[in-house]
């Protein structure tokens, strides 16, 4: 089976999410081509070409692809789709923006946010905020699939590079949407979705000042990304893009430290696949302890400064 994998990048660097989605794509079929749609994205194509298991890289460049707006990119993918049995992308903001449009244009069902490839036409995906796994089989001739990448290891980068083929694409803008601006939060900390360690804080922190005073020093000592429960975000203790959970980010780091977080199912939906979970909570009955590998019952305002000193 031939697969077209739509890559996630910023025209300068290839996202780790693509290497993870490649692992999933390779389980659907052995002939995987990566599509880089962008502008001046040659370095991205070179990085993609070095990933293990890539047959070739298709590089489509043009003004309309610079910000990967859904309309021109979906048209590009549809134009290329004849030679492919499946179109795959990571379930990122960009993948979730483009692939439903592709599925609609070629008139097939999308299979969203798979966590396992059972067979080339059969996939597992979470439902009910991750409380159940559904196995779905697609009988469509062409599969359109987004991948929840946390469950897949990244394909390795090797020295030998696959061929990069330039695609002459119609890069005219559709006029249906325009790029206005990107407002990016800048941080020296690792990105939450791909960090190896995440330290998260909950409602127990009580204020933005305390969140910063108690959580950030421990995160910085560990080189960790910072996460938060929705209660902490809604109360303004932490910014929106730190939220972990059903309506936030889904993370699966090697180590997740939940501080003053009760462990509501909507929070667990975003972190329960972490390799090692540490919970610090003063209530020994808190549900978070049911998923924790290590639990510390006590007051975060005493334990976290102590942990920082020990680190």
Ligand X SMILES: Cc1cc2nc3c(=O)[nH]c(=O)nc-3n(C[C@H](O)[C@H](O)[C@H](O)COP(=O)(O)OP(=O)(O)OC[C@H]3O[C@@H](n4cnc5c(N)ncnc54)[C@H](O)[C@@H]3O)c2cc1C
CA distances from 125 to 122, 133, 245, 269 (A): 10, 6, 16, 13
- Least gap, CB of 242 to ligand X (angstroms): 10
9 binds ligand X per the rule CB under 6 A: no
- Least gap, CB of 90 to ligand X (angstroms): 19
204 binds ligand X per the rule CB under 6 A: yes
DSSP, res 185: P
Q: How many positions of this chain bind ligand X (CB under 6 A)?
A: 27
Cβ(83)–Cβ(2) below 8 Å: yes
Share in percent of the chain as helix, strand, coil (round to 5): 35, 30, 40
| Residue from 281, 289, 292, 307 binding ligand X (CB under 6 A) | 281
Cβ(138)–Cβ(121) below 8 Å: yes
- Least gap, CB of 130 to ligand X (angstroms): 11
Q: Which is nearer to ligand X, 173 or 287 (CB)?
A: 287
Q: Which is nearer to ligand X, 154 or 214 (CB)?
A: 214
Q: Pick the piece of the chain touching ligand X (CB under 6 A) from 60-68, 100-108, 139-147, 262-270.
A: 262-270
- Give the x/- contact pattern for ligand X in 207-246, rule: CB under 6 A: ----------------------xxxx----------xxxx
Q: Which residues of 256-282 are buried (b: 16+ CB within 10 A; e: fewer)?
A: bbbbbbbbbeebbbbbbbbeebbbbbe
Residue whose C-beta lies closest to ligand X = 245
Cβ(225)–Cβ(192) below 8 Å: yes
Cβ(53)–Cβ(22) below 8 Å: yes
| Residue from 29, 126, 130, 202 binding ligand X (CB under 6 A) | 202
- The Cα 112–Cα 99 span in angstroms is 9
User: Footprint of ligand X on this chain (CB under 6 A)?
Assistant: 202-204, 229-232, 243-248, 260-262, 264, 266-267, 270, 281-283, 286, 299-301
């Amino acid at each position: 089976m031939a697969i077209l994998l739509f890559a996630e990048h910023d025209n300068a660097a290839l996202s780790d999410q693509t290497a993870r989605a490649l692992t999933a794509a390779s389980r659907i079929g052995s002939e995987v081509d990566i599509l880089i749609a962008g502008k001046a994205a040659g370095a991205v194509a070179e990085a993609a070409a070095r990933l293990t298991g890539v047959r070739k890289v298709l590089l489509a460049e043009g003004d309309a692809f610079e910000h990967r707006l859904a309309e021109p990119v979906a048209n590009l993918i549809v134009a290329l789709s004849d030679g492919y049995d499946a179109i795959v992308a990571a379930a990122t903001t960009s993948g979730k923006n483009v692939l439903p449009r592709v599925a609609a244009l070629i008139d097939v069902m999308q299979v969203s946010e798979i966590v396992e490839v059972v067979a080339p036409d059969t996939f597992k995906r979470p439902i009910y905020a991750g409380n159940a796994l559904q196995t779905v089989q697609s009988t469509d001739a062409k599969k359109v699939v987004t991948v929840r990448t946390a469950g897949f290891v990244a394909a390795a980068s090797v020295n030998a590079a696959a061929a990069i083929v330039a695609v002459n694409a119609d890069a005219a803008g559709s006029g249906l949407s325009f790029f206005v601006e990107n407002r990016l939060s800048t941080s020296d900390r690792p990105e939450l979705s791909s960090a190896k360690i995440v330290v998260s804080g909950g409602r127990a922190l009580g204020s933005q000042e305390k969140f910063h005073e108690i959580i950030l020093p421990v995160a910085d000592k560990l080189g960790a990304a910072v996460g938060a429960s929705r209660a902490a975000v809604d109360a303004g203790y932490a910014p929106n893009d730190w939220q972990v959970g059903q309506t936030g980010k889904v993370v699966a780091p090697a180590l997740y430290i939940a501080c003053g977080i009760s462990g509501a199912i909507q929070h667990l939906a975003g972190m329960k696949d972490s390799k090692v979970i540490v919970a610090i909570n003063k209530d020994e009955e808190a549900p978070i302890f049911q998923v924790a590998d290590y639990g510390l019952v006590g007051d975060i305002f005493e334990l976290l400064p102590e942990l920082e000193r020990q680190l």
